[in-house]
Chains A and B, each alone.
Chain A
């Protein structure tokens, strides 16, 4: 038998598989099981109720908006952090992780305080007739905040490994800056961008703490799906909560599958014969 560097492989394999089963697979299975305890008709009635549909709508649209924003801003931030040396760069770099570290409720409260109509930002925006707190825009901002690190942190290492000679080669062949970015840099960043995108989107779908403070939580307009699940739980309607949760679960699965497939496509050049 081949000797492994780390001893006790069968034991550690067993322990980790057991742990993954216990912590990840079992709860998900329980969720599906609970949802399945409803009959098909009840299940369909709950997941397609007007209030549930409205919550999917606001959750998915806000998540899309936030992810798209982070795609541009996160890429720009990663670019600046990797390509420029400026005073305070390391502080900015460290602050990118803050949304990971901060309790999301804290983020929610501070965002609400800022964007409420009497807050620092909110009062200025209010003069232009823009309302952020207690609107879908507020949900989007909360989502942007909590999911910002994903794109930055997935793109950064790839950007760092990017051989500067590739850009120089493209320049020497007569490429303009925009052409080099679009035809050389962007395709090479695409797999990392997609990975960051899917993580960011998944996080937005499931975000709860940061949003409920700023969203206003009006059923049919600013009530996110995660909150609706929570409300059903509070009403001891476990089956309904599980049913709605299963929709989120499916969406997340589908999203990961699609991005994995796109990533594989974008990476096909690395395949050897």
Chain B
């Protein structure tokens, strides 16, 4: 089901949580709403679900205006951040709940068969008789998903689906959710503040700040071509270096890089740790190494430029660098944004 948000606005008391958001999610797409806390991403998700009503604008499910349809009739599957499993019901009873309260009456045998099918889908066969308190966090998450899928929702909505899990479980579940999505093809919208999660999982990432969309696109588009310094910083570690643009080139103490479409004047140069390198000869930004952090996949070097800026970059594990070394930081690539 295609979902369309048309100039949606939501205000809580005096806080403008969502300001004029328009967004289209194509049928079968897996979209991430990514943003820092307070960016309005959860409010948008809850408005799509019908748990919150928009103050202005419209939400369409297909061609139908769903803005004022209450949550129980909207046909969405919602997975809550802390799962909200019914603690007094077994896993199987939790999954069956939606079918039992449905206006469409089903035979008990049909419900049982569907529960068994869903337990298989989320790989929890044999755990149907357990209570939520008796299973692990990752398993609870999967029960919550099975419960949401049991009502054959038109749209699947997930609020910080992996937020409460530890890193390993998170990675596994992420891959698994992607597989389920390919298998079922259900339109899915999820909220996260974790860039890696959004980039790994989604077909399209919508980046929010202060209640409006700052950029949206495929993971490749937003990573390769961030449109603002906010997106650049939010998507990952970035070094910020003061620069000046002159005649299509940005100069930063000893280093220079080609830029296009920027007027002359003060600017900021953003470079990922992997975009910088270390060299004993110039040209480059003169700097001295303050610390070397060893990591399984390489060495992270912390350096201070002569101009006082702190820089972080990665070198190959074989490189012999140590604190106190002097040299030059060279630029492989960078993004330049005008100040102001």
Chain B residues near A171: list those with CB within 8 A.
Answer: 51, 70-72
Is A187 touching B88 in the complex (CB atoms < 8 A)?
A: yes
Encoded as 1 (CB less than 8 Å from any B CB) or 0, chain A from 166 to 194 comes to 10111111111001000110011000000
B77 interface residue, CB < 8 Å from A? yes
Is B133 touching A270 in the complex (CB atoms < 8 A)?
A: yes
B97 interface residue, CB < 8 Å from A? yes
The segment out of B98-106, B179-187, B195-203 that lies at the interface is B98-106
**Tally of chain B residues near chain A (CB < 8 A):** 33
**Which of A172, A187, A270 is the one whose CB lies under 8 Å from B71?**
A172
Is B72 touching A175 in the complex (CB atoms < 8 A)?
A: yes
Chain B residues near A170: list those with CB within 8 A.
Answer: 86, 97, 101
Is B97 touching A172 in the complex (CB atoms < 8 A)?
A: no
Chain A residues near B147: list those with CB within 8 A.
Answer: 169, 173
Minimum CB–CB distance from A77 to chain B (whole Å) comes to: 24
Is A163 touching B84 in the complex (CB atoms < 8 A)?
A: yes
Chain A residues near B150: list those with CB within 8 A.
Answer: 173
A102 interface residue, CB < 8 Å from B? no
Minimum CB–CB distance from B98 to chain A (whole Å) comes to: 4
Chain A residues near B97: list those with CB within 8 A.
Answer: 170, 173, 175, 183
A273 interface residue, CB < 8 Å from B? yes
Is A172 touching B102 in the complex (CB atoms < 8 A)?
A: no
Chain A residues near B80: list those with CB within 8 A.
Answer: 165, 168-169
B131 interface residue, CB < 8 Å from A? yes
B270 interface residue, CB < 8 Å from A? no
* With contact pairs A172-B51, A179-B101, A184-B86 given, residues A272 and B78 touching in the complex (Cβ less than 8 Å): no
B300 interface residue, CB < 8 Å from A? no
Is B72 touching A172 in the complex (CB atoms < 8 A)?
A: yes
* With contact pairs A272-B133, A273-B134 given, residues A174 and B98 touching in the complex (Cβ less than 8 Å): yes
In the complex, the chain A residue whose C-beta lies closest to that of B51 is A168
Minimum CB–CB distance from B129 to chain A (whole Å) comes to: 12
A271 interface residue, CB < 8 Å from B? yes
* With contact pairs A187-B88, A269-B87, A273-B134 given, residues A172 and B101 touching in the complex (Cβ less than 8 Å): no
A270, B71: Cα distance in complex, Å = 29
A174, B154: Cα distance in complex, Å = 13
Chain B residues near A266: list those with CB within 8 A.
Answer: 88
B266 interface residue, CB < 8 Å from A? no
Minimum CB–CB distance from A186 to chain B (whole Å) comes to: 10
In the complex, the chain A residue whose C-beta lies closest to that of B98 is A173
In the complex, the chain A residue whose C-beta lies closest to that of B81 is A165
**Which of A168, A172, A179, A183 is the one whose CB lies under 8 Å from B77?**
A172
A244, B102: Cα distance in complex, Å = 55
The total of Cβ contacts below 8 Å across the A-B interface reads 80
Is B101 touching A173 in the complex (CB atoms < 8 A)?
A: yes
Is B87 touching A188 in the complex (CB atoms < 8 A)?
A: yes
Encoded as 1 (CB less than 8 Å from any A CB) or 0, chain B from 47 to 66 comes to 00111000000000000000
Encoded as 1 (CB less than 8 Å from any B CB) or 0, chain A from 244 to 273 comes to 000000000000000000000010011111
Is B133 touching A176 in the complex (CB atoms < 8 A)?
A: no
Is A172 touching B131 in the complex (CB atoms < 8 A)?
A: no
B76 interface residue, CB < 8 Å from A? yes
B299 interface residue, CB < 8 Å from A? no
B124 interface residue, CB < 8 Å from A? no
Most buried by A among B51, B73, B84, B133: B84
Chain A residues near B116: list those with CB within 8 A.
Answer: none
A171, B51: Cα distance in complex, Å = 9
Chain B residues near A183: list those with CB within 8 A.
Answer: 97, 101
Is B51 touching A173 in the complex (CB atoms < 8 A)?
A: no
Minimum CB–CB distance from B279 to chain A (whole Å) comes to: 54
* With contact pairs A168-B80, A169-B84, A183-B97 given, residues A174 and B133 touching in the complex (Cβ less than 8 Å): no
B82 interface residue, CB < 8 Å from A? yes
A169, B72: Cα distance in complex, Å = 10
B151 interface residue, CB < 8 Å from A? yes
Chain A residues near B50: list those with CB within 8 A.
Answer: 172
Most buried by B among A183, A266, A269, A271: A269
Minimum CB–CB distance from B93 to chain A (whole Å) comes to: 9
A273, B89: Cα distance in complex, Å = 16
Beyond known contacts A269-B87, A272-B133: 10 more, CB 8 A cutoff: A165-B82, A168-B71, A171-B71, A172-B76, A172-B148, A173-B98, A175-B97, A183-B97, A188-B87, A270-B87
Residues of B participating in the A interface, judged by any CB pair closer than 8 Å: 49-51, 70-74, 76-78, 80-82, 84-89, 97-98, 101-103, 131-134, 147-148, 150-151
A/B interface sample: 16 pairs, CB < 8 A: A165-B84, A168-B71, A168-B78, A170-B101, A171-B70, A171-B72, A172-B78, A173-B97, A173-B147, A174-B98, A174-B103, A175-B72, A176-B101, A184-B86, A269-B133, A273-B134
Nearest 10 CB-CB pairings of A with B: A173-B98, A165-B84, A169-B84, A175-B101, A172-B78, A269-B131, A187-B88, A165-B80, A269-B88, A179-B101
